[in-house]
């Protein structure tokens, strides 16, 4: 009863504290050691120093972006797994990630990235939008969830094929390397520009997904029962998918494809929220942010000459971890 409600708030509060702690930790990490207290002091007095520049222009946007992207992936994974009632669903399944990636790849392919800072993220967002439009064109008035998944897989395949085509005909090895590195996913060398272009879409998407929380709980008993409980299944499914598309599209547009966070985090969190899809949403967002920040700390600590990409480390750690989770939880999920 009231105990459980406190429990839920306690969990979210604990996760929030952990997130702030990791954020503070990540600001201490970088290519050069700086005196964080001096940096903060200079920044406070609006006195420009090397320290304050490194803190405000390099580390803070990078940390914020890692947290935002991690939160988006965790939340979107939880939302999609709830909607599809399938623990193997991940944000990429509806084709938006590859759509956004394709948009960015086209920018690299034609060498347009240097034009202005916003060309790359904007192309990514456009790609995500097109992917969603195609999915709804494919699905049409069908109300089947399976059709939706298949449409997502098809869009993903088309996006992947076009990305492969771009790599194949890349003008120079340098362009090819640029595309490949971008695809691996990273939050390095980002500024507040990227944060400001992605944040509105992310907030919009988070709001739409969180709005669907109670609907996801009702879906535990199937779509017909959810409908009989007063939910407009078709409308809410649309809201949720557009929420995933807006936030994940923005995340991929600024950080590239970062795998496994969206798949693994909901599994990690589910036992903590008694398998309740609604409570899973916020908690997965917080855990996603924490894990991606930790991954970015690892990236910065492990990198020597050439930087390790964020998506590489999430895959390296995420894949075996996912295996472990499946082995441990296969009894709980029937």
Partner 1 sequence: MSLLSASGVDYSIDRIAILKAIDFRLEAGELVGLIGPNGAGKSSLLRLLAGVEVPERGDIRLDGETLSRISPQQRARGLGYLVQGAQAYWPFSVEKVVGLGRIPYQKWWRQSNAEDESKITRAMQMTETLAYRNRIVTTLSGGEQTLVMLARIFATENRVILADEPVAALDPYHQLHVMEILRQHASEQRAAVVVLHDLSLAARYCDRLYLLSHGELDSSGGVAEVLTRANIARVYGVDSQVECNEQGASVVPLQRISDHHP
What does the alpha-carbon distance between residue 309 and residue 182 come to, in Å, rounded to a whole number?
9
Q: At its nearest, how many Å lie between partner 1 and the CB of residue 288?
A: 20
| 320 touching partner 1, by CB under 8 A | no
Among 50, 274, 323, 324, binds partner 1 (CB under 8 A): 274
| Interaction pattern, residues 34-73, with partner 1; x per rule: CB under 8 A | ----------------------------------------
| 7 touching partner 1, by CB under 8 A | no
Region near partner 1 per CB under 8 A, out of 71-79, 109-117, 206-214, 299-307: 206-214
Q: Is 207 helix (H, G, I), strand (E, B) or coil?
A: helix
User: Distance from first CA to last CA of the chain, Å, rounded?
Assistant: 27
How many helices (H) and strands (E) are present in the chain, helices listed first?
A: 15, 0
| 218 touching partner 1, by CB under 8 A | yes
Residue 38 or 214 with smaller CB distance to partner 1: 214
Q: What is the dihedral of CA 255, 259, 262, 264, to 10 degrees?
A: -140
Q: At its nearest, how many Å lie between partner 1 and the CB of residue 257?
A: 28
* Number of residues counted as binding partner 1 (CB under 8 A): 28
Contact yes or no for 308/300 (Cβ under 8 A): no
| 85 touching partner 1, by CB under 8 A | yes
Spell out the residues 6+ positions from residue 130 whose beta carbon is closer than 8 angstroms to its own: 99, 103
Among 109, 201, 206, 231, binds partner 1 (CB under 8 A): 231
Region near partner 1 per CB under 8 A, out of 91-99, 195-203, 227-235, 292-300: 227-235
**Strand blocks (E) in 98-196:** none
Region near partner 1 per CB under 8 A, out of 117-125, 150-158, 210-218, 253-261: 210-218
Contact yes or no for 244/205 (Cβ under 8 A): yes
Contact yes or no for 252/101 (Cβ under 8 A): yes
Contact yes or no for 97/160 (Cβ under 8 A): no
Structure tokens at 299: 């990236």
Q: At its nearest, how many Å lie between partner 1 and the CB of residue 214?
A: 5
Measured in degrees and rounded to the nearest 5, phi and psi for residue 276 equal: -85, 115
Region near partner 1 per CB under 8 A, out of 37-45, 96-104, 105-113, 207-215: 207-215
Residue ranges binding partner 1 (CB under 8 A)? 1, 5, 8, 85, 211, 213-214, 217-222, 224-225, 227-232, 274-277, 332-334
């Amino acid at each position: 009863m009231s105990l459980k409600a406190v429990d839920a708030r306690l969990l979210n509060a604990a996760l929030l504290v952990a997130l702030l702690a990791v954020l503070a930790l990540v600001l201490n990490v970088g290519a050069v050691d700086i005196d964080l207290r001096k940096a903060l002091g200079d920044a406070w007095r609006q006195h420009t120093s090397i320290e304050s520049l490194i803190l405000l222009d390099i580390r803070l946007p990078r940390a914020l972006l890692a947290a935002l992207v991690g939160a988006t992936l965790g939340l979107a994974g939880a939302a999609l797994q709830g909607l599809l009632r399938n623990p193997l669903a991940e944000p990429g399944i509806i084709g938006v990630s590859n759509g956004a990636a394709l948009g960015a790849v086209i920018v690299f392919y034609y060498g347009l990235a240097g034009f202005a800072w916003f060309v790359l993220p904007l192309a990514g967002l456009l790609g995500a939008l097109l992917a969603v439009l195609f999915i709804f064109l494919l699905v049409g008035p069908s109300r089947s969830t399976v059709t939706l998944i298949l449409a997502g897989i098809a869009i993903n395949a088309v996006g992947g094929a076009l990305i492969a085509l771009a790599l194949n005909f890349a003008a120079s090895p340098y362009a090819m390397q640029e595309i490949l590195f971008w695809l691996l996913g990273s939050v390095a060398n980002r500024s507040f520009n990227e944060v400001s272009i992605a944040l509105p879409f992310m907030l919009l998407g988070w709001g739409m997904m969180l709005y669907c929380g109670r609907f996801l709980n009702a879906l535990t008993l199937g779509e017909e029962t959810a409908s009989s409980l007063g939910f407009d299944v078709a409308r809410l499914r649309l809201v949720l998918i557009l929420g995933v598309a807006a936030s994940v599209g923005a995340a991929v547009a600024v950080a590239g494809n970062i795998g496994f966070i969206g798949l693994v985090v909901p599994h990690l969190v589910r036992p903590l929220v008694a398998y309740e899809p609604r409570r899973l949403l916020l908690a997965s967002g917080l855990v996603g942010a924490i894990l991606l920040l930790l991954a970015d700390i690892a990236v910065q600590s492990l990198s020597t000459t050439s930087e390790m990409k964020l998506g590489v480390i999430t895959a390296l750690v995420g894949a075996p971890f996912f295996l472990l989770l499946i082995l441990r939880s296969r009894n709980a999920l029937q």
